[in-house]
Chains A and B, each alone.
Chain A
Amino acid sequence: MNADPGLLAARAGDPDAFGALYRAHAGRIFALCLRLVGDSQRAEELTQDVFVRAWERLASYRGESAFATWLHRLAVNVVLTDRRTTWRRSRRFELTDDPAAFERGLEWNEGNSLDLETAIGRLPVGARTVFVLHDVEGFTHDEIADMTRIAAGTSKAQLFRARRLLRKWLER
């Protein structure tokens, strides 16, 4: 178990100690949520959810990995679970095994030029998820497959499609 006294105090139920952890990690968690959902207000809500969930589960954190790693994985799960729950009825969530589905949902003017951050936000949701998790956050395809419930091969296909789209948009 990590011997960080702040972490130990938070784990023992001290909300002020947990506040220090929040201050240290909120920026990275918000960045992750923002890139995954592409909406600042929703990313704020999910960031709150991540830290509430972390507080509830802190007792189960055994220190096998760095706290930041544990928190990041928790954040990914919170975002993906929320997406499945929220979009189940509207069927808008398309982390799919069908590579042709990448193109659906592109809703912007192809003549525009974009910076990378904006371009990531314009990716179809499945391609964006894999790109953010693999290229930005450093998860492996097997880890992504496990978290998103798609095949590792689909994750690879999504990644290369995302890169092609990004390169095309950024070179305009």
Chain B
Amino acid sequence: MNCETCRDLIDPYVAGTLAARDALALEAHVAGCAECTIDLAAAGALRDPVRGLPRRIDPPNDLWPVVRRRLVRRRMPGWGALAAAAVLLIALSSVVTALLLDRRDTAAVPLASGMAAVRMVEAGYVEQARELEAALEEGRDRLAPETIATVERNLEVIAEAIAESRAALEEDPANRDLRILLRTGHEQRVALLEQAVRLSREL
């Protein structure tokens, strides 16, 4: 038996499910192999502690109210979402304004790490959006002028909502609601661009 085969058999050996003949072969290999001895010992030592890990860990905060709000916003199948996006984002902006007047949950996160995390998340969305905008540009000629106009109008509304959320976060980086609104704005932007690109390719 070589080390690769031995490693493949370590888990069933530790679990006690390996056939007796294979178990003997494994033991013979391990007796003369320092590396596999270490791997066998590690697998054996961790088996019970891992099995004892809790399957459930409840989130420190109740996430359902936020998830519920996002469900209402996102359940918009098909191209009709484009027409609805402006209305949604106007509502989003209103919520941002309301949150600015009622800043909550601001104690936990240090300012620098808070904005650093926000920028890291934003960078990913910005790159996604840039790639989609390039793809949309390629298919732009296949879309009707009024469709292009609708997309661009909604992207402007989304950009305003994102800018508003970001500005509010600069003031209050630990505000969880504002973080969620900023992410939602970016998600809306990416979703809108994805739909537009998809449509341009279907035509």
A interface list, Cβ under 8 A from B: 13, 15, 18-19, 22-23, 26-28, 30-31, 34, 40-45, 47-48, 51-52, 55-56, 82, 85-90, 116-117, 135-136, 156, 160, 163-164, 166-167, 170-171
Contact = CB atoms under 8 A, between A and B. Distances in A.
B57 A34 contact: yes
Question: Which secondary structure characterizes the binding site on chain B?
Answer: helix
B58 A30 contact: yes
Contact of A27 (B41, B56, B124): B56
Name the residue in A13, A136, A160, A163 with the highest tally of chain B Cβ atoms < 10 Å from its Cβ.
A163
A15 to B, nearest CB: 5
Given A31-B57, A85-B127, A116-B53, A167 B67 contact: no
B54 A31 contact: yes
B38 interface: yes
Given A18-B71, A52-B67, A167 B53 contact: no
Interface in B63-104: 63-64, 66-68, 70-72, 74-75
Interface residues of B, number: 43
Interface of B: 7-8, 38-39, 41-43, 45-46, 49-50, 53-61, 63-64, 66-68, 70-72, 74-75, 108-109, 117, 120-121, 123-125, 127-128, 179-180, 183
Contact of B71 (A28, A52, A87): A52
Given A26-B64, A44-B59, 12 more contacts: A27-B56, A27-B57, A40-B60, A41-B109, A51-B63, A86-B124, A87-B124, A89-B127, A136-B53, A163-B42, A164-B39, A167-B41
Name the residue in B57, B60, B64 with the highest tally of chain A Cβ atoms < 10 Å from its Cβ.
B57
20 contacts: A18-B71, A26-B59, A27-B56, A28-B56, A30-B57, A34-B57, A40-B60, A44-B63, A47-B59, A48-B180, A55-B74, A55-B75, A86-B120, A87-B124, A88-B127, A89-B124, A117-B53, A163-B42, A164-B39, A166-B42
A120 to B, nearest CB: 9
Given A43-B59, A135-B46, A55 B71 contact: yes
